[in-house]
Amino acid sequence: MFQKTKNIDTSFRHFRLFAFVVLIASVLVSVFAIYKSYELASRVQSKIYVLANGKALEAYAADRKDNIPVEIRDHVKTFHQLFFTLDPDDKVIQTHIQKALYLADGSAKRLYDNLRESGYYASLISGNISQQLQVDSITVDTQNYPYYFSFTGQQKIIRPSTIIFRSLRTEGFIRHVSRSDNNPHGFLIEKWKTMENKDIKTENR
C-alpha cells in the first residue's frame, strides 16, 4: 500500500516536472516567435517597392541625413540645368526659369531680372540660339549649416553659324525648406553667385 502511494507521488512529481519543462519551453518558443515577428516587421517597414515598367523594384528607407549630400547635388544640378538650358522659345524659357526659381532665393531672381532687362532672352529668341549645360562637378560641404556648395560646368551656346563653349563656375549655400511638388528635395539655394563664366572655344558649324 505504501509502495503504491510512493509510486503515485513519484509519478505526480515527474508529471509536474514535465509540465513545468513544457511550460518553460512554450514560453521560450513564444518569446522567440514574437521577437522574430517584430524583427521581420521592422525589416518590412524599412522597405518600399516602386513599380517601374511593370516591375516591382525594392527600395530601402534611410535617415535623410545619410542622403543629404546626394540630394543637395541633385538639387543644385536640377536648378542649374533649368536655369541655363534654354531654347529660342519664350514659353520654354519661362517654364524653365519659373521651375528654377522655386529652388533658389532672390539671388537667382535678381540675375534673371538683370538678364531679362539686358535683352539676353530676347536675343536668344531673335537669334535662334539654344543653350545647353553640361555638369562637370558639384562639391558640397555638410560640416556647417547652411551647407556650402560649388558648381562647375560648361555651357554650349548653339548659334546658326557657330557653337560657343563657355566655362561656368558658381557657388552658394543650401538650407532646408518644406518639400513640395515644386521643390521635391526640400532645399533652397541662397546667396547664389557666378564666380566664372568665360569663353573656352568657338567652333564653326
pLDDT in tens, 114-140: 999 999 999 999 999 999 999 999 999
For the chain, what are the domain ranges?
Answer: 2-48, 64-204
Q: Is the pLDDT of residue 147 over 90?
A: yes
| The pLDDT value given to residue 28 | 84
Half-sphere CA count of 81, side-chain side, radius 13 A:
11
Task: Give the chain's mean pLDDT.
Answer: 86
| The pLDDT value given to residue 16 | 75
* pTM across the whole model: 0.70
Encode pLDDT of 68-101 as tens digits: 899 999 999 999 999 999 999 999 999 999 999 9
| The pLDDT value given to residue 47 | 62
Encode pLDDT of 95-115 as tens digits: 999 999 999 999 999 999 999
Encode pLDDT of 15-54 as tens digits: 677 777 788 888 888 888 888 777 776 666 656 666 655 5
Nearest to 167 by CA among 178, 154, 177, 185: 154
Encode pLDDT of 160-185 as tens digits: 999 999 999 999 999 999 999 999 99
| The pLDDT value given to residue 8 | 65
Cα–Cα dist 61/44, whole Å = 10
| The pLDDT value given to residue 167 | 96
Q: Are 140 and 148 in contact (CB under 8 A)?
A: yes
Cα–Cα dist 33/147, whole Å = 46
Q: Is the pLDDT of residue 62 over 70?
A: no
Please state which CATH number belongs to domain 64-204. 3.10.450.230
Nearest to 187 by CA among 75, 99, 97: 75
Nearest to 135 by CA among 168, 157, 111: 168
